[in-house]
Every structure is written in structure tokens, then in C-alpha cells.
Amino acid sequence: MKRILLSAVTVLVAVAMPFGDAGAQRRVVPFLGGGLAAGTGNLGEDTDNGWLAFAGVDFPLSLDPGLSFGVTASYAHVPYKGTFNEATNVPAFFGELGYVIAASSSSIVKPYLRAGAGVQLRKYDPGTTGFREQSDGGLAFSGGGGLQFLVSAASVFVGAHFVGDADGGLLAFHGGVAFPGRAGAARR
């Protein structure tokens, strides 16, 4: 997980650096954020609310002004109820399609949708229970939406997102920031 997180942060820093025409909208849009995560399905049994952090990049597609393809790396921590400090930690990596509704309008507030597929690993940390650590993982899917608010060269967003597989997953309520370039800049 540390290698994936380090790779994601490296990519994020590299694409966030200014390049080319500073007045043009970026072709690569880095983003990061975090929020509240609640377990669902099997992960929702006897758990409290936890947290989620994520980072990624989007690549705008020329087919439609609001369409993009992106990759997202995330890490969630969902604690269990009780005094034993048990938790399940969920690192994940997804490829996703995104769509900003009315992307070419002059509106500052725009709704967005995202959905994709990838892999996740659920790692059980027994805390002080005396049980052994366990992990399982595999293919998973993601989907969600929210609102983005264009502000200068950044975009602030809030939303809800589900990440999981057939056994359960996470429902996250999050906020974050993306760096698409100047607000109102023409898309190439």
C-alpha cells in the first residue's frame, strides 16, 4: 500500500506543477480529498464511522467537454465498536469515468458523476482482541456523484461515493479539491 500511495502522490505532484500555457485549462487534472466513511454489507456489521483519504488524476476526453477518464487511489479506516481498537483498513485503486454535467456552461456550480472498477484489499486489524490479522481482496466497483464549485485555478467538490464488491464496502461522504486550470478557460 505504501508503494501505491507513494506512486499516487508522486504523480499528483508531477502533474500539479505548472507546464505549457498557464492560461489554458490543464489536460491532466490532479485531485485529492477525504471525508467520512461508513461500512456497508459485511463491513457495516458492528462498525463505527471511519475516514477515507484519496488522490488521483483525471484526463479530459475530447469526445465531450465534461467527459474524463481517471485513476484514483484511496485508503479508508473503519473502526469496530468496542474497546479493543479493532478496525478494517481498505486500500483501493480504481480506473473511473467521470462526467461533469453542463461542463461548458458559465455556471460556477456543476454536478458530476463518477463510476469505475478496480481492486481493493480489506485488511482486518484485530487491535487488542488477540485474534489474528486477516485480509481479503479482489475486484471492486465504485460509483458516486456530487457538486463541484469552480474557484480561480481550483475546483472544490463535495459528494458521496460507494466503493465495494458483492460482500460489502464503504459509503463515503467527502470533500476535496481539483486543479483543472483557470475557471472559464477554454477547453482544447
Over residues 48-61, the pLDDT tens digits come to 999 999 999 999 99
Q: What share of the chain is helix, strand, coil (3-state, %, to 5)?
A: 10, 60, 30
**pTM score, two decimals?**
0.78
Cα separation, 60 vs 169, whole angstroms: 28
What is the pLDDT averaged over residues 142-167?
Answer: 91
**Residue spans per domain, the chain:** 2-15+28-178
133 pLDDT band, cuts 50/70/90, is confident
State residue 172 phi and psi, 5-degree precision: -115, 140
Query: Which class would CATH give 2-15+28-178?
Result: mainly beta
Question: In whole angstroms, what is the distance from residue 81 CA to residue 85 CA?
Answer: 8
pLDDT at 181: 67
